[in-house]
Amino acid sequence: MRTNDLPLDFFSFLWFTDGSRDPLDYRYVSEQLRALLDRYGFTDTDLTLSYWNYLAVPSSTAPAAEKGAFQAATAIYLQDTVIDHAFFFRADTGLDPHYGFVDPGGVGAADGSPDERSRALAMAGRALMGRRLAVTGGDESGLACAASRDGETVRLLVANYVAPDTALTERAEDRFTFRIPIGEQRIELGLTLPPQRRDLASAGVRSARIEMTNLPWTGRAVAVTCTSSAGAVDAPRDVIVSDGGALQLDLELAPHSVFLVEVQER
């Protein structure tokens, strides 16, 4: 395409993290691909993550809460990558009649009812609407946070993903191979993993003090609703914003939990 001076509107790739369990894989891989495109002069080409998820290999397993926390944390981390577009795969139960197995990337229980995975995705979608606000306090080990203002609603999303011990054990090599069942066949695939990060180890956070500042409702009552990926919804409760435009909340953050805090004027 470069030799023939042809345009390239977008460059797409897919990535899953079965071999690393690291939500920052997407940052590393996208930076490598961005550098590749730029080196060949495609500086205006959009970088499209055609689909992403925690797990993709049929034999990979993880509890729904762990998957949900990863999905929410990754949705937050993706906001600060060079990726222009990202598509999640897959927003159903994962039952794949074509290949004859249940895809570990599905969300929701087998009967279609919601669980931590589907709730976490919905909460991330709500939190990332509107105008993004500055937020501090997260890390690069799975404790991720994002804030936004959408009309007269301020939202804060907090995810506490904890990588499993298998992801923290030193690798023998950065090559990951696996087999995909297609009918009676077992197709072997492989990929090179990003470098293993020591910072992936969780800091062990189990609670957080939330402080919102510069709120427009100084000295007035606001309704605060807290929703968790486990399905609990705290009924809206009144909280008084200080004369300086601040309010404080305390959150219990168990491993693999996700919380969405929504603040609205009474």
> Tens digits of per-residue pLDDT, 14-32?
999 999 999 999 999 999 9
Distance set, CA 49 to CA 13, 53, 83, 92, 167 (Å): 5, 11, 7, 19, 23
The rounded mean pLDDT for the chain is: 94
> Tens digits of per-residue pLDDT, 233-264?
998 999 999 999 999 999 999 999 999 999 99
Which residue is associated with the tokens 């002069």?
Answer: 41
pLDDT of residue 101: 79
Over range 166-176, report the average pLDDT: 95
Assess contact for 105 and 94: CB atoms under 8 A. Answer: yes
- Residue 39 is which amino acid? R
Tell me: pLDDT of 103 over 90. no
Over range 55-82, report the average pLDDT: 95
pLDDT of residue 102: 85
DSSP letters, 202-227, are: -----EEEEEE-S-S-TTSEEEEEEE
> pLDDT tier at 110 (50, 70, 90 boundaries)?
confident
Residue 188: strand pairing partners:
179
From 111-115, 169-173, 177-181, the region with the lowest mean pLDDT: 177-181
Distance set, CA 53 to CA 15, 35, 143, 233 (Å): 7, 23, 18, 26
CA distance 240 to 248: 10
Q: Report the DSSP pairing between strands 46-53 and 10-16.
A: parallel
DSSP structural state of residue 32: H
- Torsion sign, CA atoms 120, 125, 129, 131: positive
In this structure, what token pair is assigned to residue 166?
């298998």
Tell me: pLDDT of 98 over 80. no
Predicted TM-score of the model (pTM): 0.94
Tell me: pLDDT of 182 over 80. no
Tell me: pLDDT of 143 over 90. yes
- Residue 38 is which amino acid? D
> pLDDT tier at 112 (50, 70, 90 boundaries)?
confident
Radius of gyration of the chain (CA): 20
- Residue 121 is which amino acid? L
Q: Report the DSSP pairing between strands 233-240 and 185-192.
A: unpaired
Tell me: pLDDT of 157 over 80. yes
Tell me: pLDDT of 111 over 90. no
Tell me: pLDDT of 214 over 90. yes
Q: Report the DSSP pairing between strands 131-133 and 233-240.
A: unpaired
In this structure, what token pair is assigned to residue 80?
């600060």
Assess contact for 214 and 202: CB atoms under 8 A. Answer: no
pLDDT of residue 184: 81
- Residue 264 is which amino acid? Q
- Residue 194 DSSP SS3: coil
Assess contact for 105 and 54: CB atoms under 8 A. Answer: yes
In this structure, what token pair is assigned to residue 217?
């409702």
